[in-house]
């Protein structure tokens, strides 16, 4: 299946399909700690804001979006410019098909062009599927927080996983906002 999957930058017209992928995770899982599904307008605003600084990508098979991934600010201080949080959601029936791996690999390539060094994933625990996925892609657990998220009458732990994608230079190249990159990125 992976050979016929294409990756591109998300656009406003994708928002309904993207939200349809996210909604079951909100309603049925603790993978996201969000309680209610955002409105289309709220989700569109989130995507627009993300695209100003970071990539927001979709995986396509023919005309169908199978998943999406994006990066976001790790912390709001200048010293953290070279670190991002990564997020990925794949349609429930497309998991374990190679879609997620292809999305994350494309996301990493764009982040390298932005001079990002550190990737972080915040994961509800336990979540062996997501943890295994991230480990397979080179992430390592660097933090474990106990009972910090409450959803579905259950307290969940949260872990942070980390992956380094660039050397840490004494004088790093400046962070380049996504909006300033050449949009002819080929995945």
User: pLDDT, tens digit, for every residue of 14-60?
Assistant: 999 999 999 999 999 999 999 999 999 999 999 999 999 999 999 99
CB environment 89-120: b (16+ within 10 A), e (fewer): bbbeebeebebbbbbbebbbebbeebebbbbb
What is the CATH number that goes with domain 2-175? Answer: 3.40.630.30
Q: Is the pLDDT of residue 83 over 70?
A: yes
E strand intervals along 18-171? 56-61, 64-73, 83-90, 118-125, 140-151, 154-164
Give Cα 53 to chain centroid, integer Å.
14
Q: Domain map of the chain by residue range?
A: 2-175
Strands 56-61 and 64-73, sheet pairing: antiparallel
Tell me what pLDDT residue 3 has. Answer: 47
Helix or strand (DSSP H, E) at 46: helix 40-53
What pLDDT band is residue 96 in, cutting at 50, 70 and 90?
Answer: confident
CA angle (159, 70, 186) in 5-degree steps: 135
Q: What global pTM score does this model have?
A: 0.93
Burial class (CB in 10 A: 0-12, 13-18, 19+), 78: exposed
CA angle (20, 39, 102) in 5-degree steps: 35
Beta carbons of 173 and 115 less than 8 angstroms apart: yes
């Amino acid at each position: 299946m992976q050979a016929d999957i294409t990756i591109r930058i998300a656009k406003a017209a994708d928002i309904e399909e993207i939200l349809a992928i996210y909604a079951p995770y909100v309603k049925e899982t603790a993978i996201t700690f969000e309680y209610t599904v955002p409105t289309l307008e709220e989700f569109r605003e989130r995507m627009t804001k993300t695209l100003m600084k970071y990539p927001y990508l979709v995986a396509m098979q023919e005309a169908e979006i199978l998943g999406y991934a994006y990066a976001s600010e790790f912390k709001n201080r200048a010293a953290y410019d070279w670190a991002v949080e990564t997020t990925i959601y794949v349609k429930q029936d497309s998991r374990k098909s190679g879609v997620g791996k292809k999305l994350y690999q494309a996301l990493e390539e764009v982040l390298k062009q932005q001079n990002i060094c550190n990737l972080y994933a915040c994961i509800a625990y336990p979540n062996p599927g997501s943890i295994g996925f991230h480990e397979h892609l080179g992430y390592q657990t660097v933090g474990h927080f106990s009972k910090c998220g409450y959803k579905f009458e259950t307290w969940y732990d949260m872990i942070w996983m980390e992956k380094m994608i660039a050397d840490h230079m004494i004088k790093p190249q400046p962070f380049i906002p996504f909006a300033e990159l050449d949009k002819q990125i080929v995945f």
